[in-house]
Structure 1
C-alpha cells in the first residue's frame, strides 16, 4: 500500500514540476480571436470587418510590439487582401474594410525588433 502511495506521489510531483517549468501555459484567446502558437509565442488574431488586431504573448505575458510590424494576407474564397499591421498600444492593428468571416484563412509575417521574422497561419471560425 505504501509503495502505491509513493509511486502516485512521485508521478504527481513530476507532473507538477513539468507544468511549472513552462511545459503548460494558457493558449486560450484573451481578446475573442483565434490563437496560434509558434516558437513559444502566442499570436491571437482578432479579425472584424473594420479592424484587424494581432496580439502577441510571450509565455503568457503581452509582448512588446512597439518595434514590431506584420504583413497579413487574407484569403476568403477566391479573394486575396494584403494588410499592413502597425503598433497600436499593446497590439498590432489595421483599420479599414476587410472581408473576414468563417472559413477565411490568414497568413501573417511578423517582424519583431531584434528577432527574426516568423510566419503564422490562422483559420477564422
Structure 2
C-alpha cells in the first residue's frame, strides 16, 4: 500500500511542473510570443513603437550590451529599424506599418552570446 501512495505522490508532484513550469509561453505584455532555441521573445508591435521582450528559460534576459535589428514586411514593402535596450526590453521608435498579416524578423544579440532570430506575424 505504501508503494502505491509513494508512486501517486511522485506522479502528482511532477505533474505540477507541466502546468507551472518556468517556461510560460503566454504573452505578458499583450504581444506575440515566439519560442526559440536560444531564447524566447514577445514582440509588441504598435505603429509608433516596437518592443521586444527577451526571456531566458522563462525569466527576463539581461539586456546590458544587447542590440538588435527589426525587419517588417508588408507585401513588397520592407521597413528596418535598430533595436536598443530600454529597461527590461529592446525597442525601436519610429513610424511602422503594423497590420494584420505584417511579418517580422527580430535579430537579437545578447552580450557574449551568438545572435538569434525570432520570426513573427501580426494576427
What is the aligned partner in structure 2 of residue 45 from structure 1?
43
1:104 to partner: Cα distance: 0.5
Q: How many residues align?
A: 123
1:2-81 maps to which residues of 2 (within 5 A)? 11-16=11-16, 19=18, 25-39=23-37, 41-81=39-79
1:9 to 1:42, Cα distance in 2 relative to 1, 3 A: same
SS, match of residue 99 in structure 1: coil
Distance 1:100 1:55 in 2: 18
Runs ≥4 residues deviating over 2 A:
2-16, 22-25
SS, match of residue 15 in structure 2: helix
What is the aligned partner in structure 2 of residue 101 from structure 1?
99
Distance 1:23 1:39 in 2: 17
Which structure 1 residue ranges, 5 or more long, are not aligned? none
SS, match of residue 12 in structure 2: helix
Larger mean Cα displacement after TM superposition, 112-121 or 33-42: 33-42
Relative to its length, the structure with more strand (as a share) is 1
Distance 1:67 1:76 in 2: 30
Distance 1:19 1:89 in 2: 31
Which of 85, 88, 111 is the aligned partner of 2:109? 111
Which structure 2 residue ranges, 5 or more long, are not aligned? none
1:109 to partner: Cα distance: 1.1
1:114-125 maps to which residues of 2 (within 5 A)? 114-125=112-123
Distance 1:40 1:82 in 2: 22
What's the TM-score once normalised by structure 2's chain length? Answer: 0.84
